[in-house]
Structure 1
């Protein structure tokens, strides 16, 4: 596959796949067919949509190694985390553990839950905040070491968003379970980038996006719920199918646009046709190559990278993009002057440059970004 298989602007270098993904033309065409079908005969479309969504859910569940009845479609991970948090029977004084690498919208959801229930948010400082030099063992030790008798839930990433680090989710799920702590895994970047087996992982709640690395349309995400929690899922929005229980009660809200969910299996078929293992290995190798190319720019410091990921991070020179507004301004400047979309995140002291690699990228894309950074920093 290359850029012609997508609708991306060929005049722009796209190195920020991790933020919004890119939908293959074939998947766009499938979603367009579904939209036309819905507009030709709305009554007929909505009369059968519950069964069709259930069938699409079965395909996605099989891809993730999950039971069909244990997975529900959601719009995205933010919604999935919010549903999981809303289902917890928290009381004043209970604790929810997160980290200083937790995604912003997820942290907001945790803090709102704490305000509503009287719970306390405990933020774990993962090692290596300034240089990215920490291991999965370090992260697990920090997370599990924060547990107290009042800890009721832990929210942690499969792959951290801003810092592109792989956490030892299996070790964390097992460790928290042994301590009696409910687990909520933010796996926004996992489907498609990693081989996932939810049956083996057995987290209480696990939620991932299909529109980032699994070639799905936007918005399309999933929430997997362990058997013990399925009857206790509390909806954010009332549903006509509430008596049916999870997953149907969570998925159906009248006339929402279901076409992204119905077209999501087409994205999985595209991935299967290309070869999931080949895509994962090729993207990871290209991300490592891009990191080496861009790290040649004076002042950039590459953080430790996990070799199986299609994302990596370099720290910008001191004082550059240390706030999100400044990061956005720098990103806009790189796009305006050099035609490169780069993922730049505000970070204390110096911003972070997050590189992504997808099947439409080539080595020269990273060379173009390196030249842009040399020009700007000069």
Structure 2
């Protein structure tokens, strides 16, 4: 089976990163990769801090710089800058939203089985504290947008469901969910929605405010070339007076978003360097990057799938043409638990010098491939050539 032609490389893109050239890094979705120019911008900021920490942290100019950065990022994402806050990651934003809804005994938080694992852990912890319950609605991997909305709508319990958590792009299954339609369905019953959009900034055309979610949080350090530890939490007007930071600091009385953003001696250099990452994207062309990554991820899925003997119908459709991550099912019985999947991922890294994502989901192990501008078609070809033999030896 032919895998078709991959997209042409973006000239010079590979030289923008400091990744080890001896490793095929096909797992951008996990931790991202920071361009060299952004690394240098952050280092200059760190040097500034160390020249005079009192001036950096003690002057009123720090908050002005944070606010300016927040406005720049919010504009890129189509979010209200006055209703948004910079946070370390999507997980922090999820925990803030969970504590904001103020659950009561007999209340519940509804999640899907495609959600990020730490979100489920956070929901269960908050529910234990408040005497509430966390419940999961299963969604078939091949479900259409209409079926996804229908299943979630049927699972809602008006009067009892106090928060619905959905992923915009799921981590274990790389599926793009119709969040705007899901939010509208929940709104019919006045049920708040938290959208975990960890993978959305940089991959999807975004107008956050038009989604209509009560809470939306997305990482900039996965696909928008920001240093790690950079995310934006957007909060609907009716919740802004109630949201609280996870840690109280000196700007507490200023209210949201400043009380969330100022966290004492936090390393703010990641946030302040994030606009350099957006500048890098704009210089190369945001749409050019998205198109390249989506086409290369699709190529990788096809060529590796063919090597594993999978038919085109066996390759899960991510649900959106701009998806830069794709998954493939591994043979039945291979690495069906999280520890086994982690061990297999490490085995592939050690033996093949190829980094991939690996998740146990739905009783099956799924290989997740990412594509970024530093990747080349031959890296997926190499995985396709060597993976079948490695899987055979791994099972023996």
Q: TM-score, normalised by structure 1?
A: 0.97
Is 1:216 matched with 2:230? no
Question: Which residue of 2 is the match for residue 240 of structure 1?
Answer: 250
How far the C-alpha of 1:348 sits from its partner, in A, is 4.1
Q: After the TM superposition, which of the residue ranges 186-195 and 233-242 deviates more from structure 2?
A: 233-242
Of the three residues 186, 190, 209, the one matched with 1:176 is 186
* Cα offset, 1:213, TM superposition: 0.3
Distance, in Å, in 2 between the alignment partners of 1:195 and 1:347 is: 28
Q: What is aligned with 2:300? A: 290
Counterpart of 1:55 (choices 43, 68, 71) is 68
CA distance in 1, matches of 2:390, 2:331: 12
Report the Cα distance in structure 2 between the residues aligned to 1:292 and 1:332, rounded to whole angstroms. 23
**Alignment pair present for 1:147 and 2:156:** yes
Q: Secondary structure at the match of 1:203?
A: coil
Q: Which of 128, 150, 157 is the matching residue for 1:115?
A: 128
Whether contact under 8 Å (2:244, 2:256) holds in the other structure is no
Give matches, 1:282-321, under 5 Å: 282-298=292-308, 300=310, 301-306=314-319, 307-321=321-335
Tell me the alpha carbon deviations over residues 66-120 of structure 1, each in whole angstroms, 9 at most, x when there is no partner.
1211110111000000001110121100121101111100000011111111112
2:194 is paired with a residue whose SS is: strand
Q: What is the distance in 1 between the residues matched to 2:200 and 2:29?
A: 11
Contact 1:299 1:316 in 2 (8 A): no
Task: Give CA deviations for 1:324-354 in whole Å, capped at 9, x if unaligned.
Answer: 1111111111111111001111234321100
Whether the aligned pair in 2 keeps the contact of 1:92 and 1:117 (CA below 8 Å) is yes
Query: Which of 370, 390, 395 is residue 356 of structure 1 equivalent to?
Result: 370
The answer to which of 28-37 and 321-330 deviates more is 321-330
Matches within 5 A, 1:245-256: 245-256=255-266
- Describe the SS at the equivalent of 1:346: strand
When the two structures are superposed, what TM-score results if normalisation uses the length of structure 2? 0.92
Superposition pairs of residues 75-90 of structure 1, within 5 angstroms: 75-90=88-103
How many angstroms does 1:202 deviate by?
2.1
Aligned partners of 1:45, 1:265: CA distance in 2, in Å?
Answer: 19
Counterpart for residue 15 of structure 1: 26
Q: What is residue 4 of structure 2 aligned with on the other side?
A: none
Flag the 1:207–1:263 CA change in 2: closer, same or farther, 3 A.
same
Tell me the secondary structure at the aligned position of residue 327 of structure 2. strand
* Superposed displacement of residue 299, structure 1: 5.0
SS at match of 1:60: helix
Aligned pairs for 1:64-83 (under 5 A) are 64-83=77-96
Q: CA–CA distance in 2 between the matches of 1:164 and 1:319?
A: 21
Question: For the residues of structure 2 that align with 1:23 and 1:182, how far apart are their CA atoms?
Answer: 34
- What is the rounded CA distance, in whole Å, between the counterparts of 1:340 and 1:143 in structure 2? 37
| Residues 1:336 and 2:350 aligned together | yes
Distance 1:89 1:211 in 2: 30
Correspondence 1:248-267 to 2 at 5 A: 248-267=258-277
Q: Does 1:191 align with 2:204?
A: no
The 3-state SS of whatever aligns with 2:364 is: coil
Q: Distance in 2 between matches of 1:76 and 1:256?
A: 13
2:386 aligned to which of 347, 360, 372: 372
- What stretches of structure 1 move > 6 A for 4+ residues in a row? none
Contact kept in structure 2, 1:3 and 1:10, CA below 8 Å: no
Match in the other structure for 1:156: 166
Once the two structures are superposed, what CA deviation does each residue of 1:196-229 show, in whole Å capped at 9, x if it has no partner?
A: 1012112110000000000000111110001111
Measured in 2, the distance between the counterparts of 1:353 and 1:298 equals: 11
1:202 pairs with 212, 218, 222, which one?
Answer: 212
Q: CA deviation at 1:40?
A: 0.3
Q: How many residues align?
A: 374
Unaligned runs of 5+ in 2: 1-11
User: 2:30 aligned with 1:30, yes or no?
Assistant: no
Any idea what SS the aligned residue of 1:286 has?
A: helix
